Structure 1
Amino acid sequence: MPEVFQKGTLYLCPTPIGNLEDITYRTVRCLREADLIAAEDTRHTKQLLMAYDIDTPLTSYHEHNKAEKGPQLIEKLKDGLMIALVSDAGMPAICDPGSDMVRLALAENLPIVPLPGANAGLTGLIASGMDTTRFTFVGFLPKTQKHRLPALQSVEAYEGTLIFYEAPHRIRQVLGEMQEVLGDRKAVLCRELTKRYEQYLHGHLSDLQAALSEQGTRGEFVILVEGMTKTAEEANPENVDYAALVRELMEQGIAKKEAVRTVARRCGVPKRSVYQAALSL
């Protein structure tokens, strides 16, 4: 028996992350039967609806109007409307204001039904060759370096694959900061997933930076970075004297913090390993 969609219910409908065919029959039918579709960008969502001959009314719900629009949508749900919430691409409520809408609905004890579908992070992960038994979704890092570095430091010791999203205009700088904080770890860069020019770049963080220097940074990116899996001793099999290297830089007038960061980058090891070795200085 076909599912009977319920009135007064908020449906979370995933949309394709690139290829328009990556949508489920259930989602298409939900979008058709909804009384209203709440979308981040109505112009973008309209293209999807046209592809599947869906004429359900659209309304905008995004980061800049959610404080006003959210309560209005809640009232419509209370009045018995069936509302489908979509993001521009992928699962709603992942790195978008849909999460705020979910909290509003929960606070009012309104029913919420999530539909499964496309997700860029997991799509990239399963084809990357990276560890899939344990992983941490980090998403978008802060926009400024001042806040990005502490965010990277907070996940430095995580085991399992780290999953990041990043915009093309920041990708090269972010990869450099990742190498600086995490060390030159193995990583995979996924570009334009499910689209015509889908691409996977494998190597270390330094290799990915070099590759982007040659080919440019167009497209949307998922960055997969190897988690912390080695102890300080295992990461330094040749017993490099990190403290001596830090002392040498400090004698040249470089501050200790910067010296630790430089040694970690040059040796391709986590900054924490160098810091522990240099505590006596």
Structure 2
Amino acid sequence: MALLNNEVEQGTGKPVAQMGRLMVVGTPIGNLGDLSPRVAEAFCAADVVCCEDTRVTAKLLAHVGATPELMRADEHTIAARLPRILERIAAGQQVVYASDAGMPSISDPGQLLINAAREAGVLVDVIPGPSACITALVASGLATDAFLFAGFFPRKHGDQLKRLHELAGVPATLLFYESPHRIATSLKTLAEVLPTRMCAVCRELTKLHEEIVRGSAAELAEQFLARPELKGEIVLVIAPPAAGETEIKGSNLAAAHTERLEADIDAALAAGESPTHAAKRLAQQYSVRKREVYEQLLARQEKLGN
């Protein structure tokens, strides 16, 4: 169905162009030339454009000569603004939701608005556009027959180990979003538990300084640890397990997690940190129960005392 036309929406008797609707649009992830004609049409037809950062979206609107109202609707504000947005759609207005880059609801707050609109029974049009994770998957040269987008790579080392443990045996290519400031340490963790797994770091996709770097997790960890001033958005792509790897890696991951925790317990005791404080800190770091860590601390303290 065309975005705006004179057809009558089935069951309403109203021309499509006169009905309120939510238009969810994909926007460029770097190259402005990837803005589609349909997205430009949606911007020009909109009464209001909801977005994460009004400064970013204002540039897209200026590019196509559109002058709708702009409304900030990021993760901090979108929940409070849902009622007003739905009221405007019900009143017949055309509302557009756009992410700062890529397809809305993929690791951004757009899903909340889309769900609310569906529940309210209003029309929702999705106008496809660029996606960083899909672009990275294709550019990586790794297997595309089965893949899993796993969102943002966890920040804490313990959470990273836990997530890798959960996903190590998945027979699919894995994709994570990651910050340039954390990619080196994240690759180091990946190298600890999946050292031979082929990976690709895809940075600044579709932009002037686009970079696709491939290698084993261990090789990439070493390379990016030597690049502390790295900039740009990153997609980390990890190849699926090789034949026979699934049965081995689960136990290796668990062992690596346990050994690292034990080493940190010894370090905490050697530094004179109280068991209560150390247990709380390490439980958060490794995503385990505080009581379990506390008991390990006491047992280790007793053993070292003997």
Partner of 1:125: 137
1:201–1:261 Cα change, 3 Å: farther
In 2, the alpha carbon distance for the partners of 1:167 and 1:259 equals 24
After TM superposition, the structure 1 stretch with the greater mean CA deviation from structure 2, 121-130 or 136-145, is 136-145
What CA deviation, in whole Å up to 9, does each residue of 1:216-240 have, x standing for no partner?
Answer: 421110110011232149979xxxx
Matched, 1:109 2:127: no
Which of these residues, 27, 44, 69, is aligned with residue 32 of structure 1? 44
Matched, 1:220 2:233: yes
In 2, the alpha carbon distance for the partners of 1:29 and 1:191 equals 30
Which of these residues, 180, 185, 197, is aligned with residue 185 of structure 1? 197
Larger Rg: 2
CA shift for structure 1 position 141: 2.3
1:226–1:104 Cα change, 3 Å: same
CA shift for structure 1 position 66: 1.6
Matched, 1:150 2:162: yes
Q: Secondary structure at 1:127's aligned position in 2?
A: helix
Q: Given residue 4 of structure 2, which amino acid in structure 1 is its aligned partner?
A: V
What CA deviation, in whole Å up to 9, does each residue of 1:183-229 have, x standing for no partner?
Answer: 43100110100000001101111221222233442111011001123
User: How does 1:70-109 map onto structure 2 within 5 Å?
Assistant: 70-109=82-121
What CA deviation, in whole Å up to 9, does each residue of 1:1-44 have, x standing for no partner?
Answer: 96426431111100000011111111100111011100100011
Q: Secondary structure at 2:33's aligned position in 1?
A: coil
Q: Secondary structure at 2:185's aligned position in 1?
A: helix
In 2, the alpha carbon distance for the partners of 1:209 and 1:164 equals 16
In 2, the alpha carbon distance for the partners of 1:131 and 1:232 equals 16
Q: Secondary structure at 1:93's aligned position in 2?
A: coil
Q: Secondary structure at 2:220's aligned position in 1?
A: helix
In 2, the alpha carbon distance for the partners of 1:149 and 1:181 equals 8
Partner of 1:277: none
After TM superposition, the structure 1 stretch with the greater mean CA deviation from structure 2, 56-65 or 226-235, is 226-235
Partner of 2:258: 257
1:210–1:110 Cα change, 3 Å: same
In 1, the alpha carbon distance for the partners of 2:190 and 2:243 equals 17
In 2, the alpha carbon distance for the partners of 1:9 and 1:110 equals 6
User: How does 1:18-29 map onto structure 2 within 5 Å?
Assistant: 18-29=30-41
Asked whether the equivalents of residues 169 and 246 of structure 2 are also in contact (C-alpha less than 8 Å), the reply is no
1:156–1:127 Cα change, 3 Å: same
Matched, 1:200 2:201: no
Q: Given residue 51 of structure 2, which amino acid in structure 1 is its aligned partner?
A: A
In 2, the alpha carbon distance for the partners of 1:260 and 1:85 equals 44
Asked whether the equivalents of residues 158 and 257 of structure 2 are also in contact (C-alpha less than 8 Å), the reply is no
1:261–1:117 Cα change, 3 Å: farther
Asked whether the equivalents of residues 17 and 118 of structure 1 are also in contact (C-alpha less than 8 Å), the reply is yes
User: How does 1:10-21 map onto structure 2 within 5 Å?
Assistant: 10-21=22-33
1:19–1:261 Cα change, 3 Å: farther
Q: CA RMSD in A?
A: 2.6
Q: Given residue 140 of structure 1, which amino acid in structure 2 is its aligned partner?
A: F
Asked whether the equivalents of residues 31 and 54 of structure 1 are also in contact (C-alpha less than 8 Å), the reply is yes
In 2, the alpha carbon distance for the partners of 1:174 and 1:88 equals 25
Unmatched runs of 5 consecutive residues or more in structure 2: 6-15, 264-306
1:234–1:150 Cα change, 3 Å: closer
Q: Given residue 117 of structure 1, which amino acid in structure 2 is its aligned partner?
A: G
Q: Given residue 257 of structure 1, which amino acid in structure 2 is its aligned partner?
A: T
Partner of 1:61: 73
Asked whether the equivalents of residues 156 and 181 of structure 1 are also in contact (C-alpha less than 8 Å), the reply is no
In 1, the alpha carbon distance for the partners of 2:197 and 2:262 equals 15
CA shift for structure 1 position 156: 1.1
Q: Secondary structure at 1:50's aligned position in 2?
A: helix
Aligned residues: 246
Asked whether the equivalents of residues 20 and 90 of structure 2 are also in contact (C-alpha less than 8 Å), the reply is yes
Matched, 1:210 2:222: yes
